[in-house]
Structure 1
Amino acid sequence: MFTLALLVASIVVVVSPLPSASVYKLKERIPNPRDWVQLHRAPVDYILPLRIALPQIKFGELERHLYEVSNPGHQRYGAHLSKEEVERLIAPHPESLAVINKWLTSHGLDEKDLQRSPAQDWVTIHVPIGLAEEMLDTKFHTWKHVVHGDVVVGTTSYSLPEDVHAHVELVQPTTYFARPRALRTTLRFTEDTASAAVNKDTSAGRITIPGSEVSVDASCNTTITVACLKELYNAVGFGASSHNGNILGITGYLEQFANFEDLQLFYADQVPAAVNTSFTVSLINGGGNNQSSTEAGAEADLDVQFGLGLTFPTPGIFWSTGGRPPFTPDAITTGDTNEPYLDWLSFVLRQDNVPQTISTSYADDEQTVPESYARRVCAEFAQLGARGSTLLFGSGDGGVGDGNPDPATQNCFANDGTNRTRFIPLFPASCPFITSVGGTVNIPEVAVSFSGGGFSNYFQRPSYQEVAISEYLDSLPDGTYEGLFNRSGRGIPDVAAQADRFRIFLSGRPVSIGGTSAATPTFAGIISLLNSARLSKGLPSLGFINPLLYSDHANTTFNDITVGNNPGCGTKGFNATAGWDPVTGFGTPNFGKLLRIVAP
């Protein structure tokens, strides 16, 4: 964009049309974001970290590889791609690189000012907002969230020069106003404050699960422990390896710190053999590792304690990723963004080796995430799947609503300016290249009422879901929730696990906690145990598991949940039913049956 002085000079001196590079074309526009109020122009000298995504011209080929190596019926099953092979498939066209380089140079930026991803499909620059406004023909403002008070820098539209337009997929942070949050519905402090072991009421006996060889201690109906989950999901007696290369990865965002001392209390309480063992912490984008007991994060403690408790002695890594509001207008430093997934992905995809199983319990309403951003981040997840990692995300804690566990305050309106009532799926749970985990409760299991579920408005139904979802939709009475959900969208969730009454230790005290944030590390733990079995037999990791889950010989290895529903948006939500449903997916895992399939 020309400054006023240049514009005046061009009017006086130049009589021919402006050069094509100065003709801007709209790249993205969003409605004013719901619950955000525009305050004032952002300071022009505030430094903004702009990420520029170049088109991945061979992504379709990467997707083909992903499905072939993830399909148990394909001859290439398990032949995961290397880091270098993936990077060759996502590399931009040389012409795109040349055009982007020329554009950046025209604004005074040279190679030393650029940070490139290994495949060169991302370019990051740190520029003053004044220069960003010139490059994107836009105006940045500060915006404040009316409920939570977060203040961020953003814009509702931006443009690019016509000759650059086709060579850029997106630029962020620009139109990103989402507020990623931990998926947690309940946090209840128990009466006992000591680290005494769980008291089991042996007089209550055991509960036999109908239709299976499984029985569970009756105390598990009030308190979920590692022992409960191993009994319920038929994993008792399996010994994971500590030296076959298997690793469990757990993501942490929003200043959620996993506390070492809390883990030791948890181990003493539930996994005595693991006492004095720990996990690795990796800091990303200014992430912290504050070990003060007052800074322990309930979400981080839950994920680490149950994820590692289930998989002991499998090594674990906890990624602490920084980046969140608030904006500080008087600090002329790199802007603090609210895009944790890109920060984490940028780091992890650079690593030569990544964990075989990765658990994430954070999400946001899909509609608050710009669609271009959601699609590109989803494509980045596909890279990890192609390299042999299983990615698991919680499906949400608001039923069919907006992730808010309190139905009375749910916001179920489309964010497109129409104010239509709509069910609100969550992202990244809606990405077709990850595995989404819903929730159950009680023994025998029923769907927990807050289990997030529904259908994506961004992503079409993937081929692996076609049969299962078509059968479910055909079973619905005509007109069910007409107009409230996208019948052709990717279905959520894929599977489920227990999601309430989990006993963890937080700041030195035992507490009871729940949410699909509990279900996700639980299911991740089961997958990690399966990976351990495979690696010990010389087999590759499972990688992207959805084609396996939806195959005829695998979906029968789940405990089908047929009772319960997930209310929200003033409705009863969807019902759990035989087969796949948008409350619990195919149900909860039977490790023993899965083991016979994936590691015979």
Structure 2
Amino acid sequence: MLSLCIAALVFCIAVYGLPESQSALKAYALKSSHMPAQQWTKTNAVSPNHVINLQIGLKQGKFDEVLRRLAEVSDPDHANYGRYLSAQELNKLTQPKEETTSLVTEWLSENGINPSQIRYSAARDWMYLDVPVQKANQLLAGEYSMYENHAGKAMIRTPDWSLPRYLHDHIDTIQPTNSFFNPSSNGLKPEAEPLNSVSIVTRPAQGPRDPVAAVCTMNRLTPYCLRALYGTQNYTARAAGRNKMAMTNYLDELSLAVDARQYLSKYRPDIIAVIKPSAKLFDLVSINNGTIQQTPFNPAQQAANTGIEGGLDVQTMLGIAWPTPLTIYSTGGRQPDFIPDDFTPTNTNEPYLDWVNYMLALDDDVLPQVVSTSYADTEQSVAKDYAIRVCNQFAALGARGVSMVFGSGDEGVGGKGCLRNDGSGKSTFIPEFPPSCPYITVIGGTQDFNPEVAADDPNTGFTSGGGFGEYFARPSYQDAAVTQYLDINNNFSDKYSGIFNTAGRAYPDMAAQSVNYGIVWNGTLRNLDGTSASTPAVAAILAMVNDALISSGKPTLGFLNPWLYKKGYTAFNDILSGGSAGCNTPGFPASKGWDAVTGFGSPNFPKILRNFGVDDKLDR
């Protein structure tokens, strides 16, 4: 009998190996390493008592099912098209397994973190805890230090962090750790004009269609021009009580109602004529104490051009899509419990993570159908584990029926400094994040009329961004279109060998006018370039499409790309000229069909409605 037991033990060891010891399981191993981007410099040690807010992203229980459901509700030919998940349904799919929550809680307890100190997201897939830096270093075997960039922004980060081996499959990411994310918008033309300056001819939105030539000039774009150009000028919203649109502000950016009202008085007097002087033009929501200031800009804000981007977005969206209700989500100010000290003057959390988790917790009847975001940063400035988890959060929001549109960037394929962020010194095109995420819709820029061409303004250095991501593989919905583009431009393989990822998520998906948008800022007229202009314009047009869909008893757009690449592209104005110059190269050219500078081109509202089988009478 003893010999049989010994034989069985020897067999098990031979087949399965020796079981890992408890100490081996608890031994730490590197989870993530990410080198700071070149503009970030390590400057100071951090006070060991300085408190940071750790956000622990637990592995979600059934995320594969979330992606499957997203694919179904976004495919116009699927039986489940438009049957978006409720908050409750999504939470059930993203809630971690019991084992995951238990193991992570035990690990924290062993390190002196009482379970009562832990806060959870609605789906319990995120843990939040406030710990001093010395405790964070202990938990993650990290070395948090102060880093500063050339603009003087400071953040606490640790380039490397580790976890016990047994937790690697249970934790996706922990933030803030090694993402050096500094989102920005672009395109300011600083010269100002008085509000009573002579402007271009405008005509009433009602009545017969006006030729584009009658209301459009490249000297300054107005809502009359944009509505005429893209075909929304004769559409009257009918579902404003059920249809909602939104935009985001970051970096203490502001959207002043007084400027928006002056803008509408000048460029949409028909709106001002029918609303009360006391009526709200938009709702403001503060996330993590993001600023929602409505008082005049102080001298420091004026010097920093604060409110230029926030003014552009809100004025563009109201000018096109009013009376659709607009909500402005302001994220990224100091947290309520944040105490600045000599080392950390500002909140160090990653803004997109705060925003998307807030949105996912909203009730179904509050969630907007379309959201415009005009901010991005280079993909390589973001740790891959962070980018993947945030991108997955975007996918979850898409499964709930939200269309998210982001600008493609304003420096072509990467501006002038195009080096890999790995110390190799090798050149590369610089894709941006979030644009490289496959679960959002990315907007490029155009200019001129009849025909539109890819945007390239030498006065500001703005060139419509586009390219191929490094972190995310090309999604199946765009495979045919992108493959065709690469085949037609097969000289890329030699010309740009090794400096872009031919198999990566390609962007943008579509485009719109992006040069010389007129806005009101601080009581003066300004012109602005950038995909930070085309993005809210597209968002407003999509809000009008949603209005028509709701009015016709059809589901709203949700995640656009499967429809766009499958059949929706026929409702867009193809852009055939221009390119995305950058990195001392011509970049990618515009061409027939999809291209890596304008996507499928600019929207044609009447054609989009017909593509969805909406009664043409709604367009008159």
Using the size of structure 2 for normalisation, the TM-score is 0.87
Q: 2:412, 2:343 → 1: CA distance?
A: 40
Match of 1:512 among 527, 530, 536: 527
Give yes or no for the alignment of 1:114 onto 2:118: yes
Alignment CA distance shift 1:242-1:554 (3 Å): closer
Give yes or no for the alignment of 1:44 onto 2:41: no
Match of 2:252 among 242, 252, 255: 255
> Is the contact between residue 239 and residue 550 of structure 2 (CA under 8 Å) also seen in structure 1?
no
Match of 1:185 among 187, 208, 227: 187
> Is the contact between residue 136 and residue 160 of structure 1 (CA under 8 Å) also seen in structure 2?
yes
Moved more, 497-506 or 273-282: 273-282
Residue 6 of structure 2 is matched in structure 1 by none
> Is the contact between residue 146 and residue 157 of structure 2 (CA under 8 Å) also seen in structure 1?
yes
Which string of whole-angstrom CA distances, capped at 9 and with x for unpartnered residues, describes residues 345-364 of structure 1?
A: 12111110310000000000
Q: How does 1:340-489 map to 2 (within 5 A)?
A: 340-353=351-364, 354-401=367-414, 407=415, 410-444=416-450, 445-449=452-456, 450-478=463-491, 479-489=494-504
Residue 330 of structure 1 is matched in structure 2 by 342
Residue 560 of structure 1 is matched in structure 2 by 574
Q: How does 1:55-454 map to 2 (within 5 A)?
A: 55-145=59-149, 147-182=150-185, 184-191=186-193, 193-195=194-196, 198-200=199-201, 215-217=212-214, 219-241=216-238, 243-275=240-272, 276=277, 277=279, 278-294=281-297, 295=301, 297-323=307-333, 328-330=340-342, 336-353=347-364, 354-401=367-414, 407=415, 410-444=416-450, 445-449=452-456, 450-454=463-467
Q: 1:168, 1:33 → 2: CA distance?
A: 25
Q: 1:516, 1:384 → 2: CA distance?
A: 23
Match of 2:560 among 522, 545, 555: 545
> Is the contact between residue 574 and residue 582 of structure 1 (CA under 8 Å) also seen in structure 2?
yes
Counterpart of 1:230, as a letter, is R
> Is the contact between residue 50 and residue 132 of structure 2 (CA under 8 Å) also seen in structure 1?
yes
Which string of whole-angstrom CA distances, capped at 9 and with x for unpartnered residues, describes residues 411-469 of structure 1?
A: 20011221210000111111100000000011121100210000001110000101000
Q: Over aligned residues, Cα RMSD in angstroms?
A: 2.1
Aligned length: 563
Give yes or no for the alignment of 1:573 onto 2:556: no
Which string of whole-angstrom CA distances, capped at 9 and with x for unpartnered residues, describes residues 324-372 of structure 1?
A: 7999543799x71141101111211111031000000000001101111
> Is the contact between residue 507 and residue 596 of structure 2 (CA under 8 Å) also seen in structure 1?
yes
Secondary structure, in 3 states, of the residue corresponding to 1:464? helix
Which string of whole-angstrom CA distances, capped at 9 and with x for unpartnered residues, describes residues 72-126 of structure 1?
A: 1111111111111111111111100110110111122223211101111110110
Q: 2:600, 2:372 → 1: CA distance?
A: 19
Counterpart of 1:429, as a letter, is P
Deviation at 1:572, TM superposition (A): 0.7
> Is the contact between residue 244 and residue 536 of structure 1 (CA under 8 Å) also seen in structure 2?
no
Deviation at 1:197, TM superposition (A): 7.1
Counterpart of 1:461, as a letter, is R
Q: 2:233, 2:347 → 1: CA distance?
A: 45
> Is the contact between residue 197 and residue 269 of structure 1 (CA under 8 Å) also seen in structure 2?
no
Counterpart of 2:453, as a letter, is V
Using the size of structure 1 for normalisation, the TM-score is 0.90
Give yes or no for the alignment of 1:499 onto 2:514: yes
Alignment CA distance shift 1:76-1:112 (3 Å): same
Alignment CA distance shift 1:214-1:106 (3 Å): farther
Deviation at 1:20, TM superposition (A): 4.5
> Is the contact between residue 359 and residue 520 of structure 1 (CA under 8 Å) also seen in structure 2?
yes
Alignment CA distance shift 1:91-1:281 (3 Å): same
> Is the contact between residue 458 and residue 489 of structure 1 (CA under 8 Å) also seen in structure 2?
yes
Secondary structure, in 3 states, of the residue corresponding to 1:459? strand
> Is the contact between residue 57 and residue 93 of structure 1 (CA under 8 Å) also seen in structure 2?
yes
Counterpart of 2:445, as a letter, is G
In structure 1, runs of 5+ residues without a counterpart are 1-16, 203-207, 402-406
Give yes or no for the alignment of 1:587 onto 2:601: yes
Percent of residue pairs identical? 39
Moved more, 104-113 or 420-429: 104-113
Q: 1:331, 1:473 → 2: CA distance?
A: 48
Alignment CA distance shift 1:290-1:235 (3 Å): same
Q: 1:358, 1:197 → 2: CA distance?
A: 33
Q: 1:90, 1:214 → 2: CA distance?
A: 50
Which string of whole-angstrom CA distances, capped at 9 and with x for unpartnered residues, describes residues 249-307 of structure 1?
A: 10000011100100110110112233244100001111112223324500000000011
Counterpart of 2:500, as a letter, is F
Q: 2:563, 2:213 → 1: CA distance?
A: 27
Q: 2:218, 2:339 → 1: CA distance?
A: 45
Counterpart of 1:319, as a letter, is Y
> Is the contact between residue 49 and residue 132 of structure 2 (CA under 8 Å) also seen in structure 1?
yes
Residue 11 of structure 1 is matched in structure 2 by none
